[in-house]
Amino acid sequence: MRWRDLIFLTVMIGGGLALVRGAVRIPAATTTPQRATSGSAVADSQAAAIRVAVEGLDRAFRQQWAEQGIRPAPPADDLTVMRRLSLALTGAIPSLEEIRRFESRPAGSRLDAWLDDLMADRRTSDFLAERFARAFVGTEDGPFLVFRRRRFASWLSDAILANRPYDAIVRDLVADRGLWTDHPATNFVSVTFNPDTGRPDPERLAARVSRALLGVRIDCAQCHDHPFQPWKQADFRGLAAYFGGAYSGLRGIRDGESAYKPLDRKTKAEAEVAPRVPFRPELVPEAGTPRERLAAWIVDPSNPNLARATANRVWAILLGRPLVDPVDDLPVNVELPPALERLAADFSGHGYDLHRLIRVIAGSEVFRLDSTDPPAGKDPNAAPDDESWAAFPAVRLRPEQVAGALFQAASLPTIGPQSHWFVRLATYTGRNDFVRRYGDTGEDEFHAAGGTIPQRLLLMNGDIVREKTGRGLFSASQRVAELAPDDRAAVEVAYLIVLTRRPTPEESAHFAGRLAGTAGDDRKDRLTDLFWTLVNSTEFSWNH
């Protein structure tokens, strides 16, 4: 029967389109850059307030350097800082198009203007959302049906783009009710769904809250007390008990009677555990469900942990390494670095404004220093101190950043929400494929060690790299071969596209020599070779 075939085909095509639409988000209307409003008085006073915070942060570091007798590295040039900003916020390098626009702006303010652009860019909120999602729900596929990672990440991305206060986001994570589809925050709870008990797992939730939100590892006391750890098993169980009444059903996550009855270590009997926070109990409100009360305690500005943990994490997202390492293990009863205290106080004192936190860190002197070898202190024989932040740290790029950089380096225009949907789909699947081959680091966010042989092989010989640097119709290398007016200009443009900098005189002379006197296919091959070389350099795979 033909009409049935027709219906089948329609459903298939419709489903396919829906999938494509789901995979490649249609840009929201909110992506128009905020620069239009930057002239207004509100934006100006905000910028002035941020400048004050930045100056305070800079003073803290300068004082520390003076005490240690360290002369910090010189400032990095604008393009280097531009590359850092793009990699940290969008997970890709700037396009040639963006570099040209950047350089057309006045030298003194172009970095701030670029930061403004990025903060209003959907690529930024998408990338940041993914980084935060790893801390909130991990990278596991999670339980079938009751966990929707994509929904969760896009909810987070919307919130970050709109600069929703971070405490409101955290409240939703911990206490929201409803279905994981229309209340995406509940995925924070539902990802721990345990099929054996048919409920979310209070202990896994306590571990997440402890690490991702409080920045401490109370879960290390999950099994027993440790002699040198400040946390006791009772602290962990008290925290878990807040989730003892979380259930999941047809109507999503809801609250009920607590069913959290952990076994006593010695007697193996079930123990009743009352909800109890590990410190500052006076901040827990009386009213609300257990989860609401826990959320209120976490986001109370008098409880310093959320702000410290978040400032440390955002610092790590921007500079590649946290102020206190590991990112989720802030020391207790030990003085924290003054910079972290300062950032945390600024963050909770200004309504948990995530954009402001990012702007303060990205505007700081440390973020804009050159990435030289760490300068030595008073004693020139002592090993230079990495923790002084007197130079920008060189950190290996994450696999997603290498993928983002590679795809952008193959294209002259910016790959982003405004690209054609076909480009976005190809980029989305291509990047995922690349990350799979390159090796995802999973939840291990900030411990990138040296590269691996398969990674080098992939970047030297992989099909993706061959396509991206090679003879494709719109490939950047081929367009440079066709359009650059002369050899030196071609070399310069290639450097800008791949490494976001201009070649040194030695490099320029060397590679112009390689191109000299070539034409047609031969010239295209030489440019493919140049792109290959740049993509395989240390500089390409590292943030610096």
Residues that bind other proteins (CB under 8 A): 138, 140-141, 143, 195-196, 207-208, 211, 217, 219-220, 325-326, 329, 370-373, 394, 396, 437, 439, 441-444, 447, 449-458, 460-462, 466, 470, 503-504, 506-507, 510-511, 514, 525, 529-530, 532-534, 536-539, 541-542, 544
Q: Which C-beta is closer to other proteins: that of 270 or that of 444?
A: 444
Q: Which C-beta is closer to other proteins: that of 53 or that of 207?
A: 207
The least CB distance from residue 358 to other proteins, in Å, is 25
Closest-CA residue to 301 (of 235, 342, 351) = 351
Q: Which C-beta is closer to other proteins: that of 136 or that of 347?
A: 136
Give burial (CB, 10 Å; 0-12/13-18/19+) of 170: buried
* d(C-alpha 431, C-alpha 249), whole Å: 36
In eight-state DSSP terms, residue 369 is B
* d(C-alpha 389, C-alpha 309), whole Å: 19
Q: Please state, as a whole number, how many other Cβ atoms lie within 10 Å of the Cβ of residue 63.
A: 11
The least CB distance from residue 305 to other proteins, in Å, is 17
The least CB distance from residue 543 to other proteins, in Å, is 11
Q: Which C-beta is closer to other proteins: that of 453 or that of 519?
A: 453
Q: Which C-beta is closer to other proteins: that of 132 or that of 347?
A: 132
The least CB distance from residue 172 to other proteins, in Å, is 22
* d(C-alpha 93, C-alpha 409), whole Å: 8
Q: Are 266 and 222 in contact (CB under 8 A)?
A: no
Give me the residues paired with residue 263 across strands.
Answer: 270
Q: Which C-beta is closer to other proteins: that of 148 or that of 217?
A: 217
Quote the Cα angle for 308-312-315, to 5°: 140
The least CB distance from residue 503 to other proteins, in Å, is 8
The least CB distance from residue 124 to other proteins, in Å, is 27
The least CB distance from residue 129 to other proteins, in Å, is 20
Give burial (CB, 10 Å; 0-12/13-18/19+) of 112: middle
Tell me the C-alpha to C-alpha distance, in Å, between residue 410 and each of 25, 99, 325, 464, 491: 22, 15, 35, 10, 15
The least CB distance from residue 327 to other proteins, in Å, is 10
b/e map of 522-538 (b: 16 or more CB within 10 Å)? Answer: ebbebbbebbbebbeee
* Tokens linked to 495: 């450097």
Q: Which C-beta is closer to other proteins: that of 242 or that of 392?
A: 392
Tell me the C-alpha to C-alpha distance, in Å, between residue 417 and each of 26, 88, 122, 458: 7, 18, 7, 27
Q: Which C-beta is closer to other proteins: that of 301 or that of 337?
A: 337
Q: Which C-beta is closer to other proteins: that of 322 or that of 416?
A: 322
Q: What is the CA radius of gyration of the chain?
A: 25
The least CB distance from residue 208 to other proteins, in Å, is 8
